[in-house]
Structure formats: structure tokens, C-alpha cells
Structure 1
Amino acid sequence: MSQNGPTRAQETPAAFWTRADVREALRARDMATFFLLYSKHANASQTAIGQRVGIAQPDISKIVRRKRRVEEQQVFTRIADGLDMPTDARRLLGVSGEGGPEGSQPVGPLGTPTSPVDPPRRVNPAAVDALHGTLAQYARLDNMMGPRHLMATAAVQLDFIGRLLAVADGPTRTRVLQVGSSFAEFAGWLHQDAGDDRVAAHWSDRALEWATEADDTLMISYVLTRKSHHAAARRDRRATLGLAQAALRRSETISPRTRALAYRQIARGHALAGDATACSHALDEARHNAAVTDDLGEAERTLTGYCTPAYVELEAADCWLILGRTREAITAYEDCLTDWPAEFERDRGLHLARLANAYAAHREPTRACAIATEAIPIVADTGSARAADELHRLPGWLGRWRKTDEVRTLAEALTTLPPATRADGRP
């Protein structure tokens, strides 16, 4: 200690929170400046800060570089909780001294109420397995009713998993990580389907992080495939292909259905690149793997059980539509939708919307409008932004017929859906 008192590196936590520059950063909600100040004070890396506040290190880096702003109240609350902010610092940040707005419950990583109880002192592995068992039921509900009914439930479960990870060690921690990566991937899927790509990417990143720590090769491959799916939604053909190919690097350790899903994404990447031959070869690989009937257990079924031969054919149909081969797309969609299972209602709406686009691209506006009219109430009920985006593309395909009664009626019906969340470059 010098004669003038402790240096910045030696300052006490109490002194840090009273510094003028820290208080100004909190008052302005300037997390870029605040994280830099905190990092120097605590000699903490971005990874360490991220672990404390529940934000992945790449996102911390984006915040510090001002590539991303923190705007959500629940994230400010997590930062305050994770860094043990004193009451007056929390109030400068606009966060209650009790861990949330006055009179409210604490919030979890997706902004929903969570349990205020402390984490257990030990983790019962059987309880973790039981928690994983609920995921299959959630997946069934999602297929029938869409994402919005399950987002709050996923948030609560992920908050609980985070509490378990705070106390789990050894093989039990590995099991919690496996279950956590499954729930995080599911949350990412729900948010992608609901049209929130930023939050979807956050949870996919978390799923990959947890699966990597657990050395769960099946989940690592699956999440890479899902991230390829995110890239395809952005029409990023290079990332679509690269991530799907990465999912196959340890192909001998993953299930046939997981391989089929990766090949499906490779096919889509080639379709986005306009390479019909390479797309066809990848689809053949996807068909071959999806046809394998080996039962690899409940966990694998829950993760990839939807990847049936019919599912691959529907994905092929979308590739044909991207490539402009509309008659092949129409035939594939209609063949697969003829005996569509009732439990996959959300996807029925999605594929009807794609079929409507295929008819419109094939210059059959009457059929396109009829199919779209069938799809609209399903899409509205299930809240799938992906399906709504498909329907919102129809006016682009139907522009030359926009003055006809049927297209005007369809355009009016489309106003009952939420606006498009993304454009993918199609008409």
C-alpha cells in the first residue's frame, strides 16, 4: 500500500461501487464501459464475467466492443445479481435492491418469474433424469401448439438448471450439462420459430458450450446442425454449408438421424448456392440415413425423432423451390401432406405455406390462394414466425395478379398475421 492509500487494483469492492466513473456508467446503463471498469477492478476475464452474469463470452465481447447493447431489464437484473451489486448501485442501474422491480419475483434468463429459493446443497441424479423426461412432452406440445406456449416454461427450467450447475460436481455435473444443453437447444428452437433470432442464437451458443463441456458428441453435432439452420434462414450459404459439414466431423459417433439432419442442411446450402447436382447428392445421403430404423434410446428419439423419410422429402421440396424447380416441389409437398400426422400441426401450417409459394411461383394463383387460406388460421393459432414469413412472401410471387379478387382477399387475410420477421431473398 502506498502512502496515498490503495491502488485501483487493490481497491475494496465497496470503494469500487462508489467511484464516479462506475456510477456514471451504471446511471447511463453503459455496459461496455462498466464491464471494462469491472474487469480491471476484479482482474476478471470476459469469460469469468460472463459466467457470473449468465452471458456467453462472445456476447460479452460484443457488448464491450459496442457491437451489441444491453436493453432487456432481465439482463440488467442478472448482471446486478451475478456481480453482487450493492443496493445503491443497483438503483443507479434501475434494478431493485431486492433483485427485481419492487414487489416482483426475481427473473430468469428469458425474463420470466423464477423460484426465489436457494439452490439445493446436492443434486439427485434421478431428479435430473426426471427433468430430462419432461422435455419429450414439451416437444410434443410444441409440435401441436407452436412456440409461444412453452417459452416461459423453458425459461423456468433453464433457470433451475443453472442453479443445479452451481452445486453439481463430477459425473453428476456432466449429466446436468447434458440435460441443460438439451433444454438450451429447445429454448433456441422456440425463439427461432417465434422469430427472435438474437435470443435463439444465444441459447444455441449456450447449448453448444454445455454440450462441449460434457463431451456429448451427439448434442454437439445436433447443435451445429441447428446453427446451420439459423444461417440458412439468413441466406448465408457459406455458414450453412460450413456448420453442417462440421456437424459430420465425428459422424461415426452420432446417430443416423443426426447425420440425416446434417446432410439436409448441406443440401440446403448447395440449393442456396444454385448447385442442383450437389444438392441432390446430399439429399440422397439424408434419405439413406433417415431410413435407418435403429432405436438408440429415448434421449436420441426426443432430439431427432421427427427426422423421418417424409420429413426429408419435405426439406427436399423446399430445396427444389429455392432452385426454381417448382413442379418437383409441388409434387413432394402434396405427396407428404396427404397423410400428415395430426400431432405436427405447426409444421402442417409451415408446409402448406411453402406449398402456396410453390404454386404461386408456378403461376397458379388460384391454387396458391386456396392453399394459403387453409394455412393462415393454423399459422395464427400456432404463432410460428417462420410459417408467417413464408405466407408474407406470397404477395411477391403473386404481384402480376395483385388486382384480382382472390389475391386482394388473400392480401387482406395476411394482415391478420404478425408482420414478417426476416426477408430471405425470395420474391
Structure 2
Amino acid sequence: MRGSADTELTVEPDETTAVPPSLWASWEVRQAVLHSSPGMVIAIARRARGLRQDQLGIMAGFSQSAISRIESGGNLAYDVRVLRIFQRLLSIPAHLLGLTEDEVGIAPIDVRRPRTNDCPPTLVQNIMGGALDGHGLLMACAPAAFNAGRDDARNSSPINEEVVRQLLFLRRVVNDADSWISSSSMLPAVRQLYEFVDRLRPLAKGKWRTQILDIAALYAEFCGWLHLQTGDLPGAAWWTERSLQQAQAADDQQLVAYAYRRMSMQAELEDDDDRAIGLARAARRHDGLDPQLRAMTLQQEAQSQARIGEEAACLNKLDQARKLVEDITPVRTPEYRLGSWFQVRHVELQRAACCVDLGRHREAIAQYEHLRNEGTPTCRWLLGVHLSKLAFAHASTGGMEQASIAGSEALALASSSGSILISRELRKLHPWSKVSSIAGILNALP
């Protein structure tokens, strides 16, 4: 649709002229790529679709002057989040803008793949060979797992300290894999690993039986988490309950508390905030909790209190959580340990999220920008949730351009991870669905 510069324009992507595939191989595009000019590629694609700069700006949530600066090679032309918006709107092949097909703009460097000096020798070559899907993950873990369960004639029992160490290492491997493999892809592999560990219990005696039971509970807890990520709340509840029962049988109070915290998350997803608060408090009633785990339960309670508008109680819980972990430096160990990754930056990310839920949007934006300037790394699903929160805060204060950028980046993470936690937050942008760039994000949600 065309109109005067003073007329509000509504331009949807399907109203534009189709672009012949030959355009991407044209001399003009090749020269733009050769000179590393993504802005020029965007300009070529825009003109090929019969759009003016102001029309493209309306579609993308940018001003006409911003589009001009992007096409002229300004700083925004090299922002991955911005490029992703135009790549989607104009159907530009990703590589022509210097993007990969699954580029999300911020590398999840907080949770990395296992380093070779952390790994048992049986896993090094399998794990470090490249990106794995769920089947590949299981195949990588299988040699160590079945080695672990082998009845060695030199031992009176097939279950010993080395078996426990390898099974805990595998639990850390699958936890780390959550940063680069989608939850739905991982579920079959993790379920099979749980079933294998659970079958080891009859082979174990004395203290080893208790340890195998506890490790089985750790795998069951992670199965529950993966079901939650994919939106299967009944499955999440079943596996978390199983984890709780096995943790209680093993007398592991840390894992019992963690299971209650996970149940609190599930109650929140069911919009039962009172139950979520009660479960978070139940988690803290267990004696001897590690400071990091206690802080995580405080943060979980604060999150639900923010949702029901209990501002003072929410901020008090976050202050308590921060105090518990502010002097702790996370220690990376080869074996999995509950909550070992949790530190101050996670509390401060939650503080920003709670500010969004409490309606303190400008404060939330300032907090998120402060954390981003510090280079705060985080895992993929959590990054997506907070980018969605940031998009909502920007939209609430009229910053549609910034909302589109943050929302598009969150959308890329939702698509690659399959996390319903991200999608759920992005759907809260619905009040601004008449803005073309926001409508594009909502329509593209998985």
C-alpha cells in the first residue's frame, strides 16, 4: 500500500513484490557481500520488493531515518539482532547478511561444551566431535554408561566410585547439552539414560545403592525439566514427582528441595501463584541447604510474588538471595552438582524480570542494559525469557523499535530451543499486535 509521507501506512510482507531467486546471485548483491555491506544488501532487497524506506520502517518498527542509516552502513547495519529482523521481513538468505541459519546474536557462553580436561577418556572424542542431536548425545554417552555398568571380574560389585563418577559426569553432559540441543530432541536420550541408571540399582549394595538411587533421581528431575520446556506439564509433574520420591528414599535433602522448587515453577506456569509460593517455601524448610540452592528458592518465591503485585516481599526475597551468593565464586567440576552455576548475576536478572511484572518498566530496562553492558552470559532458554521481558518493557514505554529488536532475538532463541517458556513470554506482546514488526514476531512463534 502506498500513500503520502504524512499518511500512516500499513504494509504487510505479503503485499510486497516477489523477488526472483536470481536477485541473490546478481552482480549488485555479490559486490555488496564482497564489500561486507549488509546495509547495501537490505537496500537492494527493499527496492526489489517495491518498498520505500518509510514503508520498510513501518514493517520493521524503525523510523525512516533509521532505515537510511542502516542502508548507508551505520552501526545498526552490523547489529545481528537488527539484521535478523530484515532477513526475516525481506526473505534475504542469511549468509548474504553474514548470519548463520540459527544465529541468535549472543553466544550462550555461560554453559559451554565439556572441556577435554574435564572428560573421562571414553567420552572425549565422542563429545568433542561437533554439534549433536539427541540421538547423537545418547550415542556419545553410551560407551561410558555401559562401561560404568559392566560387571568387572576384578571387583566384588559392578558399582563403585568410578561408576558413580562417570554417571554424574554424564548428568553434567546432558545438562550442558541443554544449551545447544532442543529439549524435544534430548528427551528420548535422557529417558534412556534414566532407565539405564535405574536398572543399575539392583546391582548396587550398601552405600552404592543409595548413590545410584540419588543419581537416578537427578536424571528423573532433568526429564521433568525437559517435559516442562516442551510444554508437557503432566509429563513434567510425573517426572518431578518421581525425582522427589527417589530423592527422599536416598535422603538427599538438597535434591528434595530442588524438586519442590521445580514444582513451584510448574505451578506458576499453571497460573497458580499461591501454590507456587507455598512450594518455594516448602523447599526452604529442609535443613542444611547450600547457599546457592537456598537463594534459588528465594528467587522462585520472589518471581511469584511479583506476579501478584507483592512488591515489598518480592524485593526483600531478592535481597536475601543476593546476600547468600554475593561472595560465592561458582566452581566448575567434572561431575554434576545442583545449583553450582547460580550466582549474583542470576539474582539481578530476576530482579529486572520482577520489575517488569511489577510495572516498573523503565527500571527494568535500565537493569537489563546494565547487565548486558557487563556482558552477562546465560543459557539459551533463560536468555530468551529475559529478552522477551525486555521487549515487553520497551513496548510498555513506547519503544517499539527496541521492542522489535529484543523480541526478534528472543524469537530466534524460541525457535532453536523449542522452549515454551520463551514463547509464553513473547505472547504477552499481544497488546501491540497491530504494530507490524510485533505482529511478525507473534505470527512466527512456534
TM superposition score normalised by structure 1: 0.64
Q: Read off the aligned partner of 1:250 and give its amino acid letter.
A: H
Q: Read off the aligned partner of 2:220 and give its amino acid letter.
A: A
Q: Distance in 2 between matches of 1:344 and 1:123?
A: 36
Q: Read off the aligned partner of 2:274 and give its amino acid letter.
A: R
Counting only pairs closer than 5 Å after superposition, residues 2-401 of structure 1 correspond to structure 2 as: 123-125=158-160, 126-251=162-287, 253-293=288-328, 298=333, 302-340=337-375, 344-396=379-431, 398-399=432-433
Q: Are 2:389 and 2:425, in contact at CA under 8 Å, matched by a contact in 1?
A: yes
Q: 1:3 corresponds to which residue?
A: none
Query: CA offsets per residue over residues 364-387 of structure 1, 9 Å max, x none?
Result: 223212221222222211211111
How far apart are residue 274 of structure 1 and its match? Answer: 1.4
Q: Are 1:189 and 1:200, in contact at CA under 8 Å, matched by a contact in 2?
A: yes
Equivalenced residue count is 295
| Greater relative contact order (CA < 8 Å, ≥ 6 in sequence) | 2
Computed over aligned residues only, the root mean square deviation of the Cα atoms, in angstroms, reads 2.6
Q: Distance in 2 between matches of 1:248 and 1:208?
A: 15
Q: Are 1:120 and 1:167, in contact at CA under 8 Å, matched by a contact in 2?
A: no
What 5-or-longer segments of structure 1 have no aligned partner? 1-113, 419-427
SS at match of 1:231: helix
SS at match of 1:311: helix
How far apart are residue 301 of structure 1 and its match? Answer: 6.4
Q: Read off the aligned partner of 2:347 and give its amino acid letter.
A: V
Task: State yes or no: 1:414 paired with 2:439.
Answer: no
Q: 1:164 to 1:300 in 2, by over 3 A?
A: closer
What 5-or-longer segments of structure 2 have no aligned partner? 1-141, 152-156
Q: Distance in 2 between matches of 1:413 and 1:383?
A: 15
Q: 1:302 to 1:413 in 2, by over 3 A?
A: same
How far apart are residue 333 of structure 1 and its match? Answer: 2.0
Q: Are 1:318 and 1:354, in contact at CA under 8 Å, matched by a contact in 2?
A: yes
Q: Distance in 1 between matches of 2:270 and 2:439?
A: 25
Q: Distance in 2 between matches of 1:341 and 1:219?
A: 27
Q: 1:314 to 1:329 in 2, by over 3 A?
A: same
Q: Are 1:145 and 1:345, in contact at CA under 8 Å, matched by a contact in 2?
A: no
How far apart are residue 129 of structure 1 and its match? Answer: 2.5
Q: Distance in 2 between matches of 1:210 and 1:297?
A: 26
How far apart are residue 205 of structure 1 and its match? Answer: 0.6
- Percent of aligned pairs with the same residue? 30
Q: 1:165 to 1:385 in 2, by over 3 A?
A: same
Q: Are 2:362 and 2:397, in contact at CA under 8 Å, matched by a contact in 1?
A: yes
Q: Distance in 1 between matches of 2:169 and 2:406?
A: 37
SS at match of 1:305: coil
Query: CA offsets per residue over residues 378-408 of structure 1, 9 Å max, x none?
Result: 2211211111121122123x15xx1xxxx22
How far apart are residue 297 of structure 1 and its match? Answer: 8.2
Q: Read off the aligned partner of 1:412 and give its amino acid letter.
A: G
Q: 1:267 to 1:312 in 2, by over 3 A?
A: same
Query: CA offsets per residue over residues 160-179 of structure 1, 9 Å max, x none?
Result: 12211244343121001111
Q: Distance in 2 between matches of 1:288 and 1:302?
A: 21
TM superposition score normalised by structure 2: 0.61
SS at match of 2:276: helix
